[in-house]
Amino acid sequence: MTALAQPTPLSPVSRPSLSLCDLPPDPAARPGDPVPLAEPLDAPRNPHHPHHPDDPDDSPARPHTDPPSTLLLDGRGGYSYHPTADLPKLILDFNPSAQVAAHILEALCDPQYSLLAVARMHDATLDALLAWMDRPDIQARMARAQTATSRRNRLAATSLLHRVLTGLERSVDEYIDEVANDPLDPTDRSAREQRRRSRETSRKASWLIYLISRSHPTPAPTDPPPSNTRDTANPAHPARRKPPRATASDSSDPDSPETLTVKPATPPASRRATHPTSQRPPPVT
């Protein structure tokens, strides 16, 4: 019987190491996010894990001589290897100039860049960028950009309504042509279902055409007319306004407030009514 050949121990140079292909990409990760390794390269070995045949169990941990490194997720969905010494120092107190601020606003308006990507493009942390975006002047500029973008989108959508009307009109014409030229077989269930769907499509298209015909553009806001201070002090309702004060020329008018006599208010009657029969007759003398 021939003895089996003993496996040749691998040398430290040929020992398999961790490869980037062994790390599946995280779908929730974004470009620039650091990817932690399963085990640090310079961490001590776990005595409970099996070691290599050429490493005794009581051997001390080998010092890691390579410079510290970081795995970063690139924009193509893969990982890239960057030494930590080559990474730029991120700015914690972000206060860019006016020209850089204009570039940042342009990048924020571009949908292909995330907030983290915009922050790394300008060597800043995400918290520093968010703090800069919370400034009142930056919020006002972003609000103007958002209002302009919304107005532009409404204008573009309004410019496409004629094409929408053409498609809706075609849907209604196709249903009318189907009803006129394609008789329906009452016994065919699929044909009846197809006719029902065509009828619902035509009904919805007709309703959309009606809604488009009823739409009106929003008028531009106008400044309110200047109001009188006297009318502003008094309510607009005529019943709530105070009566005008009488002058000397109005004293001859019998209906003026000066000539009218006010009757004194009569005291309220007693709550207990007196009945004639309840009074006692006078005593007979």
Segment 159-182, tens digit of pLDDT: 999 999 999 999 999 999 999 998
Instruction: Give 43-99 pLDDT, tens digit per residue.
Output: 454 545 444 445 454 444 444 444 444 444 444 544 454 444 444 567 677 888 889
Q: Please say if the pLDDT value at position 266 is more than 70.
A: no
| Model pLDDT, residue 124 | 86
Q: What are phi and psi of 99, to 5 degrees?
A: -70, -45
Contact between 70 and 34 under an 8 Å Cβ cutoff? The reply is yes
Model-wide pTM > 0.75? no
Locate all alpha helices (DSSP H) within the chain, ordered by sequence.
Answer: 98-109, 115-121, 126-133, 136-159, 161-181, 189-214, 229-233
pLDDT at res. 102:
92
CB 142 within 8 A of CB 105: yes
Q: Could you tell me the pLDDT band of residue 139, with boundaries at 50, 70 and 90? A: very high
Q: Mean pLDDT across the stretch 88-113?
A: 85
Q: Which two tokens stand for residue 282?
A: 């006078």
Burial of 124 (0-12, 13-18, 19+ CB in 10 A): buried
Backbone angles phi, psi at 83, to 5 degrees: -65, 145
pLDDT band at 15, cuts 50/70/90?
Answer: very low
Q: How far is CA 111 from CA 118, 133, 176, 216, 264, in A?
A: 11, 17, 43, 31, 80
Is residue 204 scored above 90 in pLDDT? yes
Please enumerate in sequence order all residues whose Cβ is within 8 A of that of 55, keeping only pairs 6 or more positions apart, or say none: 45
Q: How confident is the model at residue 202 (pLDDT cuts 50, 70, 90)?
A: very high
Q: What is the mean pLDDT of the chain?
A: 69
Confidence at residue 105, expressed as pLDDT on a 0 to 100 scale:
92
pLDDT at residue 171, as a whole number:
92
pLDDT band at 264 (very low <50, low <70, confident <90, very high): low
Give the C-alpha separation, 79 to 25, whole Å. 8
Structure tokens that stand for 249 in this block: 């020329």
The total of other beta-carbon atoms located within 10 Å of residue 274's CB is 8
User: What percentage of residues in the chain have a pLDDT greater than 70?
Assistant: 44
Interatomic CA distance for residues 251 and 244, integer angstroms: 14
State pLDDT tens for residues 211-224: 988 887 776 667 66
- DSSP per residue over 111-177, as a string? TT--HHHHHHHTTB-HHHHHHHHTSHHHHHHHHHHHHHHHHHHHHHHHHTHHHHHHHHHHHHHHHHH
State yes or no: pLDDT of 101 exceeds 80: yes
The 10 Å CB-count burial string (b at 16+, else e) for 183-209 is: eeeeeeeeeeeebeebeeebeebeeeb
- One-letter identity of residue 215: S
Helix/strand/coil for 80: strand
- How many CB atoms sit inside 10 A of residue 181's CB? 7
